[in-house]
Chain A
């Protein structure tokens, strides 16, 4: 494949992400990876459920006291919206509109960064207001590990977005990088999928008790 080959909107394939063998491989491989990630997050969720509210005898902090829904709602909105903006980015990628794609990706990154900021604030809040540190109890370890692993995925996703945007800023779309843009957007949606379960299982079910 010639990396310098120029395309126009009319020569650009309908599915540029899987137009090359490398793209196809990346596409299938990444989906498989997400299948593995599903199991990984499931074990974290399962452990969280097993250790929820568990601590040294006499521990007083429980999920229903800890969590505050307004903050979680804002974070959810941010992440859900960022999922839509990355869909827009892919829409423009498939339309061979590089600038629009970059712009939507930038929006996605901003939303993701805001989400991450809130999460850091939230953790900080728990530690300082409640003394709910990582080593506080089995509950705290399970909570921070589950939500923190998700946060780490968000951070990695942001770094990945930024790296791709900088790297390709000057040369625009080609079939070599189309699949890369596509996989990061898959990854980003997956992060959103995990968050849907986090806000449901951890926060909402935590508040319900």
Chain B
């Protein structure tokens, strides 16, 4: 177990670059947040507006899926490097979760 961590002083240019990258990313995060709020508003409005359930239910489920994608890839940094294995397992969990949900709305009966 190599427990010593190599730390290195960044050059000013490197530091500035990293900082700029982080700040850019943060602006992206805020934009993501705005999008999430917007999606939520759409979902609530669609329900409050009393459209037919046949349209509303798939729509709001889709909106939820998009929001979760945003959370995962932006807020939880899943788009960054080194997330391959964790995301693979997370999707494994989602696949099984999906199977369970399908089962419970189809063959629980009555």
- Is there direct touching of A and B in the complex, by C-beta distance under 8 Å? yes
Interface hit among A88-96, A127-135, A156-164: A88-96
On chain A, the residues within 8 Å of B30 by CB distance are 84
Interface: A11 (CB within 8 A):
yes
Within 8 Å CB of B25, what residues of A?
Answer: 91
* Contacts known (A35-B93, A204-B43, A208-B53); A20 close to B71, Cβ less than 8 A: no
Given known contacts A77-B37, A189-B76, is B5 in contact with A175 (CB within 8 Å)? Answer: yes
Q: In the complex the two chains form, what is the Cα distance from A31 to B94 in whole Å?
A: 13
Chain A contacts for B19, CB-based, 8 A: 95
Tell me the chain B residues, 77-91 only, with Cβ under 8 Å from chain A: 80, 82-83, 85-87, 89-90
Instruction: Kindly list chain A residues whose C-beta atoms are within 8 Å of the C-beta of B85.
Output: 28, 31
Secondary structure class of chain B's binding surface, majority of residues: helix
Q: Which residues of A line the B interface, CB within 8 A? A: 1, 5, 7-15, 18-22, 27-28, 31-32, 34-39, 41-43, 45-47, 49-50, 69, 73, 76-77, 80-81, 83-84, 87-88, 91, 94-95, 175, 186, 189-190, 192-193, 196-197, 199-201, 204-205, 207-209
Produce 1/0 per residue, B8-41, CB < 8 A to A.
1110100100110010011001100100110010
Q: How far is the CB of A4 from chain B (nearest CB, A)?
A: 14
- Least distance between A40 CB and chain B CB atoms (Å): 9
Q: How far is the CA of A31 from the CA of B36 in the complex (A)?
A: 22
Name 8 extra pairs, CB < 8 A, besides A36-B93, A95-B22. A1-B3, A15-B82, A50-B105, A94-B22, A193-B68, A196-B64, A197-B64, A205-B60
Q: Which residues of B contact A39 (CB under 8 A)?
A: 93, 96-97, 100
Q: Are A42 and B101 in contact (CB under 8 A)?
A: yes
User: Are the C-beta atoms of B104 and A50 separated by less than 8 Å?
Assistant: yes
- How many angstroms from the CA of A95 to the CA of B105 in the assembled complex? 47
Closest Cβ of chain B to A22, distance in Å, is 8
Q: A91, B101: Cβ atoms under 8 Å? A: no
Select the residue from B4, B33, B60, B86 with max chain A CB neighbours within 10 A: B86
When A31-B86, A38-B97 are in contact, do A200 and B43 touch as well, CB less than 8 Å?
A: yes
* Chain B residue at smallest Cβ distance from A203: B47
Per CB-CB distance, the 8 closest pairs between chain A and chain B, nearest first, are A42-B97, A31-B86, A46-B104, A35-B93, A38-B93, A200-B64, A84-B33, A35-B89
Interface string of B41-54 (1 = CB under 8 A from A): 00110011000010
